[in-house]
Structure 1
Amino acid sequence: MVIQKENVIEKADTLIIGGGLSGLYAASILAAEKKKVLLLEARDRIGGRILSTQIHGFSTDLGPSWYWPALNPKVCALVNALHLTGYPQFETGYCRFQARDGRVVTMEGQPMDPPGWRIDGGMMALVKELYKRLPQGTVRLNHPVCDIERRDDGVLVSVGVLDEPPVCRIKASRVILAMPPRLAARSILFTPDLPTNLTQAMLRANTWMAGHAKFFALYDEAAWRTMGLSGQGFSYHGPVGEIHDGSCETGTPFGLTGFLATPALRRKDKEAMAPAMLAQLGTVFGDEAAHPTAFYYQDWAKEPFTATEYDLKSAHNHPEFHLPSGKTTIWDNRFHFAGTETADHLAGYLEGALASGERAASAVSRPVRDSTKIKQTQALPPAAR
């Protein structure tokens, strides 16, 4: 991060806070319209809750894994527009179920309805392709926003840490906040204070994935398939609660992936959690499953730019987030909310992220209300108006 003098204020037309899918999508829409946009991302990478680790040309999704063509027209359209390839989730064969006493039984498979699909190259392929379409210099990494101040002629955004001098300040005509509402309410100082009902709504909005942890194990062979199993499993015993086949569409590598059932407050780091997780995979799918060629683990509850202390209890249903009175724009059309939790439909999914980014980009094109003139007009007696 380049440190600038505090009294130096940069200027931007539209400033986007958050480099996840919704922020990048909004930026790509505005860039395609030849509008000047600057995007700030707190992490040292783009993608937000989309995270895929590359190994031998294969991407392991440690965040979102699926989209549903029957339900997600925006995702499908974007996959096609970016010239990416999707493939159906492998679900052929029987399912395993592990009871509370540890006993494992084989049962009929539980295929997704409607069918879920994966993207060749992982969900990170969406992020990378959107990023390629942005003008050079649009995205700035390692830029956490700590203060957002409304001004008569725009919005002043400070980058850095609260209660410390800002690293830099940027004055923007419009701002799109494309980050989890709860995280924003918890980590950013707003001046003037946001309305109490809006702040409370933001704090109550569950951040999807924030309380969860996910694993991905890779193998040279899919031993479970030769056993007639789909790779799907569910368990009430052990750290892992849900398992799916995460293999490449054609050939190696093969993979098992899924979610932990251990609550966030009881989870430890990868080194402490991995032995029990691998032992459980071996119990459910055979000894070969306990010995992957590579093993990845991501605990989202420990990500400071995703989760807050309020997220240590996982949300088991996809959240629905609506601002008071359905508002997604404040401050005389200068400040716009994005992010999947702010979507009217399919909040918490990739589809909701795209819908919210599209909505915010469209709102930026609407004229700004001049609050100064409005106040002056309201102050005049009726006869003088």
Structure 2
Amino acid sequence: MLSGPGFGMYSNSPTISDLPVIPIGLDRFGVRTFPTPFVHIERWSMVWGCLPVTYSFPDRTWKLSPFLTVWILCGVGFNIPCFYDCLMASIGGDNSLTLYVMILIVAVMSVSAIAMHVLSLIFHKEWAMFLNGWMVYERKFPTLTTGVHSYKLTVPLYVGFVICVLFFVVNILNELRFNLINNDGVGRMLSLVYVYVIYSFTLSMPVLWVVMASKVFVLCLCHIRQELECILECAKFGLTCTSNIQKCIAAGDISLLQEAVLELRRIIRAFKTIIGPFMLVMVPHHIISLICFLYWTLVSTLDYTDWYFPLSFGLLSVQAIAPIFCGAIYSEQIQTEKDSLIEPLLMLKGTMKDQEAKDQMATLIDHITRMDAQIEGRGFFILNKGMATTVVNTVVTYLVVLIQFYGSNTG
């Protein structure tokens, strides 16, 4: 149940400095960890400049990360020269459609990477508030956050890391092989290495954050549903016993549960506020990338007898489409788990005879019903399976047009 030593200790708006440290159990690796379940994605994001804050253990607070400044300088100092070098190395009198597709994808990568770091800088205070809010929630409601530090929860994150590294290695080897065959300059090779670094790591951050946060929020909502089912069983027991038991349940556990739901709702809204602009940049980026890479896959299959080029571009196509589907699937899980709370709440409300308890339960049901838990792109779209299907239809339409242009040019 929700009552007990986990509650009551922090009833007066605790701050991070008032909270006890959670034993994460990773100290045996000799590395100090962040005090949140987002430890792995925090480190990965901070290294690539997409998480603008880092946790200071002596001060027990979040501070601006020095990596962000480094990557902003890299964005200004390297993106434009890399784009220019790729452009100049590839022109050479070639005015084919393939050239324009190459220019488009390199430009989109550069713009998206710069936008990522700019958005990180703009929202650095919101990042700190979100992470602080979660740390307070985790310590205030320990029964609802049980298991958020488990390695099982981070399995999709590790899979994402491995896939990013694998795709990066495969495509770098492809570019190196292409340079050796065509005797291209070192500058183009270095430029493309930087572009693939951006695409494989920096631009994977928003979706990895969506996956990790969705897993954490779904686990908390699952624990809330389990607590509701326990309260419902107690309420049914109270129907055959004294009314004091039922009153105690309604006034005690339901009050704490309502507080937990409202605070989780605020944390989810804070995360959506931060990640929304990132999704607004990343979803169009992945759509354009998917169109370009699928086009290159088909063209290389027709033009080259070598199997390595279609393989490389095919992997890039997978890398472009997978984040959209992964983000949509995990984002929709939050909404599904949230909707599963309504039925036990209505059943619990039906067992109550006290009008005050019924009103309190009706308020809680209203809050949960109005909670929009799915990730969205600042109101332009909702990241769900329906949107992923729309993306596929859009990509197929534009790809058919490009293939028709390609056929008319070669014919």
Question: Normalising to structure 1: TM-score of the pair?
Answer: 0.27
Question: Normalising to structure 2: TM-score of the pair?
Answer: 0.26
Higher strand share: 1
Higher helix share: 2
